Amino acid sequence: MKMPSKQEALYRTMHNANPPYREINQGIRGLRHWLLQLKEAPASILDVGCGNGKVCKLLSDMGYCVVGLDIVPGPYDRKGYKFVKHDLQLGFLPFKDDEFDYCVSFDVLEHLPQKWVGQAIYDMLRVSTDGIIGKVACFGRGKTELHLTVKPPEWWKELFSRISDKEMEYKVACSPAGKTLLFNTKTEEGELK
Amino acid sequence: MKIAILTLTGQRDKYIDNLLAEQLRKYGHEVNVRNYIYAARETVCYEKPDVVIHPMPGGEYKYDFIKKCKQWGIQIIVRRGEAGMGREQFEKLDENRKSIILGNWDYSPYVDLELTWGREFTGIIAEQGHMPAEKIRACGAFAFDPYFPETKRETNPVRTILFATGFSTCDCRSEYCELGIKDDSDYHEEIYAIHRKARDAWISAIKQLVKWFGEDWRFELKVRPGEMEEEYVEKLPSKVKVHPQTSPSSEILKNVDILVHSGSTMAIEAHLLGIPAFNFCNVNPDLLLSQASPMLESYGELEFNLARAIIGQSNINESVYHELQEHLYGPIDGKACERAAGFIHEYIKDKHIETEIPNVWPKTTNYHDDKETIHLEKQDGDVRWLCAGCRNEYYAKPFGVTKCPYCGLRIEMTEKVTQGVLK
């Protein structure tokens, strides 16, 4: 039997032993900002780093065709969407170019080592035709070593603008833990709500 | 659509570009494959294509070329002739090397689509290079398409060894030897010294091998583009058959039993044909590719391994081969050209392209930086120089290196060449 990697074991522990990690999905709050800008269902959406799968569930209930991807499966049932197990540090997203309309990713990119962050953004752009939507945390997570790339919002903005030709929109939000950056590819419908 | 594929070298690129042309014709496009060095400008001015498929634009000449084409409304698609590098290896390189690989000049305003090999390098281009992610497409390992579908190869009655050289800077002037690197960089001298040392070791080893095994083995040599065949013909015994530079490597390899290279992609080509290969005096800074074949440093090691190699059986490091596909080349499955043609067709199929191309390439002196020694009109002591790239004339002293004021191509006039010209 294949042994889980160190990262996989870490996230499995987080899901099993940490109730807030299991219950909260930062994407739910963030997604409400963007839902109005998405194409109507059944557009296809890939949720990179879907965690407990709550965003996937919400989107699939709305009629979207959803695929969730993460290093470990979340603790809840995965009815209504397809789950793909994949470690972003070990290779490219296992999908063809332009396979989805959108790629969403909430609080995921900061969990990668810095040298793989650009690669992951490129890969999310590769598999989506209409753009990417997401959020990155710009603060550390104490001793748990979960946030491997802790950078200010300006750093992330610069990285996105270097990699993508599409115009991006950003919004910096402040939480008790620190700043987070909301990002999305600009759509024709208008600016962020 | 009318598509012109400009092919850089006859050895590998032409073969692959012909395969790409075949795939594009399946979509109903009119495709011509033309020689870049001798016919690029003429192709554009006479044939007036809608789309040009161009090599990676490193150096002033190529940069100038795509800039002009774009101004005339032509869609420019770049097809990378080299795989680039995996991320782990790339991050270890110094800035000079990185800029050779990514391109010294920002070509993104003039390029509509770039076709690359592996996804990892594509991500690096998006992040650290000039093209945005939306305008790059990873197609897979172009260089190995000619080896599919796999065919059985006959072994020779006499052990035939091919030496494939890789010392492209050796016959250039040491201070300007690496294309794509800025003139004032120390890197020119550095890379020149590495190549020169390795070439000397090769020549000495081949001489010794011919001396000891000349009666029993057959020796062949393939000279890398950019090197002068004469350098080897003059120094090596006549028993070594030197292939013309234009011969495609895929054709030469089919008739040999063992390959000796210096960190070349040919290691993979040999593997696909079931030929054992050895990396002697590696000059490739990509550590992963260098390790595909056993690495040898001395004549003793070379002789030992050549004598004991099992003919008809590849000796590639399988895990490196797998890693190379994952991190460098992309899939080696013979379908890179098919995928590339699909991406190109997808990009151009609904485009309304209107071009306005002149009948003659305009004569502009964008690169006339050295006005003291290079003149547009003849002055005392000058001789006429004819640019091999744009075929414009200019005037300068009879010896040394000049940079063409019209296209930026650097030309060296040696005593040997000058004698021929002045006769």
Instruction: Give Cα B109 distance to the centre of its chain.
Output: 24
Provide the shortest C-alpha distance from residue B19 to chain A (in Å).
22
* pLDDT higher than threshold 70 for residue B299: yes
Q: What is the pLDDT of residues B98-156, one digit of tens each?
A: 888 898 889 999 999 999 999 999 999 999 999 999 999 999 999 999 999 877 777 78
B 379-418 residues inside an 8 A Cβ radius of A: none
**Helix, strand, coil % over all residues of chain B, rounded to 5:** 40, 15, 45
- At a CB cut-off of 8 Å and minimum separation 6, what does A109 contact? A117, A120, A121, A134, A136, A149, A156
Partners of residue A159 in chain B, C-beta under 8 Å: 127
Band of the pLDDT at A57, cuts 50, 70, 90?
Answer: confident
Q: Which of A55, A66, A62 has the alpha carbon at shortest distance from A100?
A: A66
Reported pTM = 0.80
Contact B385, B394 (CB under 8 A): yes
Beta carbons of A131 and A167 less than 8 angstroms apart: no
Is A97 an interface residue toward B (CB < 8 Å)?
yes
In chain A, the residue whose alpha carbon lies closest to the alpha carbon of B325 is A91
Whether residue B405 has a cis bond before it, omega within 30° of 0: no
B138 within 8 A of B330, measured Cβ to Cβ: yes
Q: Is the pLDDT of residue B423 over 50?
A: no
Contact B133 A164 (CB under 8 A): yes
Q: How many whole angstroms separate alpha carbon B210 and alpha carbon B382?
A: 46
Q: Which two tokens stand for residue B59?
A: 């150096």
Helix axes A26-34, A54-61, angle to 10 degrees: 40
Among A91, A118, A165, the residue with its CB nearest the CB of B127 is A118
Mind listing the pLDDT tens digit for each residue in B219-232?
999 998 888 888 89
Do residues B120 and B91 make contact, with C-beta atoms less than 8 angstroms apart? no
- For residue A162, the chain B residues in CB contact (below 8 A) are 126-128
- Whether B134 sits inside 8 A of A125 (CB atoms) is yes
A163 vs B contacts (CB less than 8 Å): 126-127, 132-133
Smallest CA–CA separation between B133 and chain A, in Å? 5
Q: A127 in contact with B at a CB cutoff of 8 Å?
A: no
Instruction: Give the pLDDT confidence of A152-174 residue by residue, as tens digits.
Output: 999 999 999 999 988 898 989 88
B123–A119: do the CB atoms touch at under 8 Å? yes
| Residue B150 half-sphere exposure toward CB, CA atoms < 13 A | 9
- The b-or-e profile of B82-101 (16+ CB within 10 A means b, else e) is bbbbbbebbeeeeebbbbbb
Residues of A in contact with B132 (CB under 8 A): 163-166
Q: Do A97 and B132 lie within an 8 Å CB cutoff? A: no
Chain B nearest C-alpha distance from A79 (Å): 32
Torsion angle of alpha carbons B342, B69, B350, B21, nearest 10°? -30
pLDDT band, residue A176 (cuts 50/70/90): confident
Note the pLDDT tens digit of each residue in B340-359.
999 999 999 999 999 999 99
Nearest by CB to residue A164, choosing from B123, B134, B137, is B134
Which of A92, A116, A122 is opposite residue B133, by nearest beta carbon? A122
Residue B172, pLDDT above cutoff 50: yes
The dihedral built from the CA positions of residue B32, B36, B37 and B41, taken in this order, carries a sign that is positive
Query: Cβ separation of A123 and B87 shorter than 8 Å?
Result: no
Tell me which chain B residues have a C-beta less than 8 angstroms from the C-beta of A92.
Answer: 119-120
Cβ neighbors of B387 (< 8 A, separation 6 or more) are B393, B394, B404, B406, B407, B409, B411
Q: Who contacts A106 (Cβ-Cβ below 8 Å, separation ≥6)? A: A25, A26, A27, A30, A31, A47, A49, A51, A55, A134, A135
pLDDT-based confidence at residue B76 (cuts at 50, 70, 90):
very high
Q: If you measure CA to CA, which chain B residue comes closest to A93?
A: B119
In this prediction, residues A116-129 reach a mean pLDDT of 92
Q: Flag whether pLDDT at B339 surpasses 90.
A: yes
Instruction: List the one residue out of B412, B419, B374 whose CA is nearest residue B393.
Output: B374
Between CA B235 and CA B238 the distance in angstroms is 9
Q: Which two tokens stand for residue B233?
A: 């013909």
Cβ separation A122–B87 shorter than 8 A = no
Residues in chain B closer than 8 A to A122 (CB atoms):
122-123, 126-127, 133
pLDDT digits (tens, 9 = 90+) for A22-49: 667 666 766 766 776 777 777 899 999 9
Chain A residues inside the 8 Å CB shell of B87: 115-116, 119
Q: Do B87 and A119 touch (CB under 8 A)?
A: yes
Using an 8 Å Cβ cutoff, are A145 and A98 in contact? no
Nearest residue on chain B to A166, alpha-carbon basis: B134
Closest-CA distance, A38 to chain B, in angstroms, reads 19
B196 or A15, greater pLDDT = B196
Query: If you count residue pairs, one on A and one on B, with CB atoms under 8 Å apart, how many are there?
Result: 53
What percent of chain B stands above pLDDT 90?
60
Residues of chain B found within 8 Å of residue A121, distances taken between Cβ atoms: 126-127, 133
User: In residues, how long is chain B?
Assistant: 423
Least CB–CB distance from B122: residue in A121, A122, A166: A122
Strands (E), B269-321: 277-280, 295-296
Q: Of the ranges A74-83, B3-12, B122-131, which one carries the lowest mean pLDDT score?
A: A74-83
Interface of A with B in 50-89 (CB under 8 A): none
- Report the pLDDT averaged over residues B378-407: 86
Whether the CB-CB separation of B270 and B259 falls below 8 Å is answered with: yes
Q: Where are the alpha helices (DSSP H) in B53-186?
A: 60-71, 87-92, 95-102, 119-128
Instruction: Give the pLDDT score at B422.
Output: 42
- Does the beta carbon of A118 lie under 8 angstroms from any beta carbon of chain B? yes
